[in-house]
Amino acid sequence: MTALEKATGDVVFKFEPFVLHVLCRELQDAQLLHSVAIDSGFRNSGITVGRGGKITMAVRSTHCLEVPLSHKGRLLVSEEYIEFLIQVANQKMEENI
């Protein structure tokens, strides 16, 4: 809170979702993994095929969180709300695990 109160610009509380990149030998392997990921609730998952034929499957969680806390040095939320955000982010981290 001390650092936040001293901030002069914009401050954003951000929690990044889980991402697992898997290099696959065959497209069918990536497709199988993609199906498993989607069926397991990782709706933002996808397959990328690079120029050299490198096939990458990305398993992505939807557990993200991004909330502005201050603007131009002016705190927009209470300490109680920040504590709530921390609890939410910690819960999302547990779901990632």
Q: What single string gives the DSSP state of each residue in 2-16? A: HHHHH--S-EEEEEP
How high does pLDDT run on average in the chain? 92
Residue 74: partners with Cβ closer than 8 Å, 6 or more residues away: none
The amino acid at residue 27 is L
Q: Which residues of the chain have pLDDT under 50?
A: none
| pLDDT for position 15 | 93
Phi and psi of 65, rounded to 5°?
-155, 130
pTM of the model: 0.69
The alpha carbon dihedral of 33, 34, 38, 42 has a sign of positive
Tell me phi and psi for residue 77, to 5 degrees: -135, 165
